[in-house]
Amino acid sequence: MQTLNLVIISGLSGSGKTHAIKCLEDLGCFCVDNLPPSLLPKFAELCVQRDGEVKNVALGIDIRERGFLSDLFSNLDRLKSLGYSVELVFLEARDEVLVRRFSESRRPHPLLPQSPVLEGVRLERERLLELRRRADRILDTSDLSVHELKDLLARHYQQQGQRRRLTISLISFGFKFGVPYDIDLLFDVRFLRNPNFVADLKPLNGEDPRVRSYVLDDDETVSFIGLLDGLFKFLIPLFERERRSYLSIAIGCTGGRHRSVAVASRLREAFAGLGYEVTLVHRDLQKS
């Protein structure tokens, strides 16, 4: 039988189960939330049939009704008997923490939506006692930030030797056409000398070697790129420490055809040389 590692995430409402599933997805697991327990064996069989394409799976299972527990346990036992690696992770938090989280989200407790949240928390804790007892790992998220929970899960479930690096997305643009949305870092390069005022260079764009040389060989640009390289050497390990998956960087000039294109292309080469996966889009290159 091909290897299949299954991590089952369950626990108390408000303890961070949904976030835990997202963290495991970032770590490379194939994730499915709210899968009925009765489908577990068939789901595992389908994963194995993918010829090794799916090896690490995280499943979020929300168990509130007593009848579902026996169904879950019987199917987990069946998976183990078939030789699958199965780990049941139970997430919990202190009563006062769960009450505060529900209060902050303004959501009622799903078990007792018409009652005070604390009553729902206590009822659910009582109903899930057996599930907690059967768990292979219990994680108390009371004092964990979302970043700390992600670090904890990474220590337990990141594959040995696996190193997930940032995917860096670069975009060049022209301020005259508006600033891109949903970006992490923005750099304005309108202070660099402008090829638009050079008759031979104006019809060209920043991908042309003559424009690139005009922009990138200037002393001020060389100094600026050097400062950017140093800044990114400082920032990127910090973003990686936070286990970010993506980093979006925008470079803007007036029209988005010359300076921003040349600088963004230069940064793409630098990031690629460091081993990062980089995408580059020149948003306004074809605009007049």
Residue that terminates a domain, selected from 127, 157, 187: 157
| Residue at which a domain ends, from 157, 192, 226 | 157
Average of per-residue pLDDT values in the chain = 88
- Kindly state whether residues 181 and 63 are assigned to the same domain: no
- Residue 194, CA distances (Å) to 39, 46, 197, 240, 254 in order: 62, 58, 6, 35, 9
Q: How many CA atoms lie within 13 A of 281 on its CB side?
A: 11
Report the CATH number that the domain containing residue 142 is assigned in CATH.
Answer: 3.40.50.300
Note the pLDDT tens digit of each residue in 243-268. Answer: 677 899 999 999 999 999 999 999 99
Tell whether 116 and 35 lie within a shared domain: yes
Domain co-membership, 9 together with 152: yes
Q: What is the pLDDT of residue 49?
A: 81
- Domain annotation covers residue 104: yes
pLDDT for 22 beyond 50: yes
Residue pair 59/7 in contact (Cβ under 8 Å)? The answer is yes
Quick check: is 287 in a domain?
A: no
Question: Is residue 89 domain-shared with residue 10, that is, in the same domain?
Answer: yes
Do 9 and 104 have their domain in common? Answer: yes
pLDDT of residue 268: 94
Q: What is the pLDDT of residue 1?
A: 47
Residues 18 and 102 both lie in one domain: yes
- Among 157, 178, 196, the domain-final residue is 157
Q: Could you list the residue range(s) of the whole structural domain that residue 190 is in?
A: 167-282
Check whether residue 117 and residue 9 sit in a common domain.
Answer: yes
Top pLDDT among 243 and 12 is at: 12
pLDDT per residue as tens digits for the range 100-121:
999 988 889 988 889 999 999 9
Residue 64: pLDDT band (50, 70, 90) is low
* Same-domain check for residues 215 and 259: yes
Band of pLDDT at residue 161, cut at 50, 70 and 90? very low
Considering the domain architecture, whether residues 133 and 218 belong to the same structural domain is answered as no
Residue 66, pLDDT above cutoff 80: no
Domain-located, residue 162: no
Report if residue 152 sits inside a domain: yes
Q: How many domains would you assign to the chain?
A: 2
Q: Is residue 136 part of a domain?
A: yes
Residue 101 lies in a domain: yes
Whole-prediction pTM: 0.59
My answer on whether 143 and 219 are in the same domain is no
